[in-house]
Structure 1
């Protein structure tokens, strides 16, 4: 009888994905290095999974060549190390670091037992071991724009993008629509730090600083950037010029206290944790998972360093806009899908 009970326990143990194994999760430090906000948010989500789901995390660094934002060969080598040496079950990576899917197609096919969580894309790769995570950055950027439109004194605000790719276009268009929603008289200056096929715009804080400083001198008083590590240059310019910036992807408010109105957080931490949890619970679903405002995929920060300069009326207006986007009363154009 004891042997029978033990057998039942063992079978239950093996059939339960939560108990059967301690998941190993791999992350790389790629484009933009450890200062890249995508890496920071993914790492935060993995850290939460380590504490709450008892997974074991591993990090490998991909070395980029001088002057290049991405060295795909080194990224691929780092991923191979995670799979071959660290024996990870899960890879969490952002779309750009996958060579826009080529790496996942190659390594995902080579290692079918490894699950891939690919952040920041609407591409359905049609692979049973891959989930693509699409964020509603257009919705969060609308909120950032609405705040900028309500706060500008000069009626001149700006947007600096890293590279002219669809995902960055969606930040820009959402921001522009948000500005116009609260301030139809405001002008939005826009630029990209590099144009395709170059991707250096995601790793050019000096160039971003120079452009932002020039705009601030011309009368622009708020700049929103979606440019990876280059955004640090915009923040530095805002601090030096005593104007405002809006951070992106992670909570950057503390980088220049009182000079960053808010940050539009792309909640890769929430998505990373949720998708790892699904895998651990045996609920993994390949395809595309959407995380917008309603799903907790994007949000503004609590603005703890700038609440003294943002009126209660404006804060209430932003909350109202957020609720209207969640309910569908406000439709924000998604430049990634042209809707």
Structure 2
């Protein structure tokens, strides 16, 4: 039975900068039990990116922001490793093993795709704390960092319902999987709870991540253009790097886009589109990465399932765009919905 650890308050942050240092040498040895051990605390935090890699202005960049914060605060070495196209679970397993063997602690896999590899590797390195974002992996030395994405998406739905003038809004999901269904379900519920007459058009770009649903801006752009042709004037995307195409299409058509994971209004790479990024559904991946790193630094490593929800500011809705305040009733509606979710009077669906 998995252990549910207490919730941890963290602060939302995101950044997109140049390449970080790559991993360098550490030590390893064979133990009597057949398990490998590392020089605990020899190095620092290491993260292995999900599909799309660094520069997605979203999920992976949020994780990198957490790494940067830990690096700056703790003054230790870090590593961040890009995925390769068409890689297998064995490739991911080798990547995680290499980082642990070199002495990095903790080692975090960014994304549910690291689940099988994490299961295989964690037992081999009992002195290393592992973390996985967006999945639950059982293990005495594994922290599963999961989020209430549906709650942030509900708030995005409230904002969309208040902002639309055509009565049609869109949702673009990267891949047709349960994790992304959470975004879509919360968004549609928030829209309908605010105005039941508003129509929601939903589309998933691919059936599997390998088909490019999280890494193809052209696919995102085409999907958004199709929804805009059907009169959608607010489009919410949960599609990783593909979401940049959604934002581009919205800006070109002069309709609203809603970002995801990071505050995309504030992303330098998206500055040319910022006037059309109404808000972003925030997911504090960076905070979760930092929190796990700090727990290891404090010699009190977190393990088990760590839930980051609206109550602990693990998810939320950005308010960077001043135009939000100009839309009648939007700010008050979002605040009321947030209060309802936190006090339990609103239960958000995850599918």
Q: TM-score range by the shorter chain?
A: 0.7 to 0.9
| Alignment counterpart, residue 320 of structure 2, candidates 297, 303, 315 | 303
| Alignment counterpart, residue 89 of structure 1, candidates 83, 102, 105 | 105
State whether structure 2 residue 79 is matched by structure 1 residue 58. yes
Q: Which whole-Å CA distance do the structure 2 matches of 1:228 and 1:92 have between them?
A: 18
Structure with the higher helix share, 1 or 2 = 1
1:278-317 to structure 2, matched below 5 A, reads 278-307=295-324, 309-311=326-328, 313-317=329-333
In 1, are the aligned partners of 2:161 and 2:191 still within 8 Å (CA)? yes
Give per-residue Cα distances to partners, 1:131-175, cap 9 Å, x unaligned: 101101010000000100111101100111111111101100000
Distance 1:91 1:164, change over 3 A: same
Deviates more, 1:299-308 or 1:44-53: 299-308
Determine the structure 1 residue equivalent to 2:338. 322
1:117, CA displacement in angstroms? Answer: 1.3
SS at match of 2:123: helix
Q: Runs of 4+ in structure 1 displaced over 6 angstroms? A: none
Determine the structure 2 residue equivalent to 1:10. none
State whether structure 2 residue 151 is matched by structure 1 residue 151. no
Aligned-residue RMSD, C-alpha: 1.9
Determine the structure 2 residue equivalent to 1:105. 119
Determine the structure 1 residue equivalent to 2:26. none
| Alignment counterpart, residue 70 of structure 2, candidates 49, 61, 69 | 49
Determine the structure 2 residue equivalent to 1:208. 220
1:27, CA displacement in angstroms? Answer: 1.3
Determine the structure 1 residue equivalent to 2:234. 222
1:278, CA displacement in angstroms? Answer: 1.8
Q: Which has the higher contact order (CA 8 A, sep 6+)?
A: 2
Distance 1:226 1:332, change over 3 A: same
Determine the structure 1 residue equivalent to 2:54. 34
1:305, CA displacement in angstroms? Answer: 4.8
In 2, are the aligned partners of 1:60 and 1:82 still within 8 Å (CA)? no
Determine the structure 2 residue equivalent to 1:16. none
Determine the structure 2 residue equivalent to 1:114. 128
In 1, are the aligned partners of 2:145 and 2:308 still within 8 Å (CA)? yes
Unaligned segments of structure 2, at least 5 residues: 1-39
Give per-residue Cα distances to partners, 1:100-141, cap 9 Å, x unaligned: x110011112222211111112x2x33111010110101000
SS at match of 1:63: coil
In 2, are the aligned partners of 1:202 and 1:230 still within 8 Å (CA)? yes
In 1, are the aligned partners of 2:42 and 2:104 still within 8 Å (CA)? no
Number of matched residues? 306
In 2, are the aligned partners of 1:142 and 1:179 still within 8 Å (CA)? yes
Give per-residue Cα distances to partners, 1:269-313, cap 9 Å, x unaligned: 1111122222222332321111100111111112335336434x3
Determine the structure 2 residue equivalent to 1:243. 255
Unaligned segments of structure 1, at least 5 residues: 1-19
Q: Which whole-Å CA distance do the structure 1 matches of 2:172 and 2:330 have between them?
A: 24
| Alignment counterpart, residue 203 of structure 2, candidates 171, 176, 191 | 191
SS at match of 2:275: coil
TM-score (norm 2): 0.82
Determine the structure 2 residue equivalent to 1:4. none
1:64, CA displacement in angstroms? Answer: 1.3
Distance 1:308 1:288, change over 3 A: closer
In 2, are the aligned partners of 1:42 and 1:269 still within 8 Å (CA)? yes
Q: Which whole-Å CA distance do the structure 1 matches of 2:274 and 2:212 have between them?
A: 28
TM-score (norm 1): 0.85
Q: Which whole-Å CA distance do the structure 2 matches of 1:129 and 1:282 have between them?
A: 13
| Alignment counterpart, residue 45 of structure 2, candidates 25, 39, 53 | 25
SS at match of 2:287: helix
- Structure label with greater radius of gyration: 1
Distance 1:71 1:200, change over 3 A: farther
